[in-house]
Amino acid sequence: MKNVTISLDEGLLKAARLAAAKEGVSFQEYVRRLLRKEAEFDPVKNLNEVFEFIDSLNIKSDGKYLTREEIHDREGLRRQQHLSVRERQVGKSKAKPRKGPRS
């Protein structure tokens, strides 16, 4: 194996050493793994794996495309968000009402 010298700022070095310790490997092994992973990354292969995963979900579409209006339906999104917030708050909130204007 060849030796390589790199320069890192103190914060990055400390973070990388902590990450290596969490994985239970030496700093050198940690960097080696990161470089191997990055060097071997193949975006086409990765994209194919994503497509294969999606296909494996067996989700069927009726073939209908959304219209521009449906894609950008802000009111529909707000209704969904409002409903989910309301469902979470039912019987769970013990907070006292706020007094005065909101800041």
Q: Is residue 2 part of a domain?
A: no
pLDDT of residue 75: 75
Q: Is residue 59 part of a domain?
A: yes
Q: What is the pLDDT of residues 90-99, one digit of tens each?
A: 555 555 555 6
Tell me how far apart the alpha carbons of residues 58 and 93 are, in angstroms, rounded to a whole number: 40
Q: How far is CA 33 from the centre of its chain?
A: 21
What residues contact 27, with CB distance under 8 A and at least 6 apart?
A: 16, 17, 20
Mean of pLDDT values over 2-19: 95
The total of structural domains in the chain comes to 1
pLDDT of residue 77: 66
Tell me how far apart the alpha carbons of residues 28 and 30 are, in angstroms, rounded to a whole number: 5
Range of the domain at 71: 10-88
Q: Is residue 81 part of a domain?
A: yes
- Give me the torsion for CA of 61, 62, 68, 72, rounded to 10°: -50
Q: Is residue 34 part of a domain?
A: yes
Q: Is residue 94 part of a domain?
A: no
Q: What is the pLDDT of residues 34-83, one digit of tens each?
A: 999 889 888 888 888 888 888 888 777 777 777 887 777 777 666 666 65
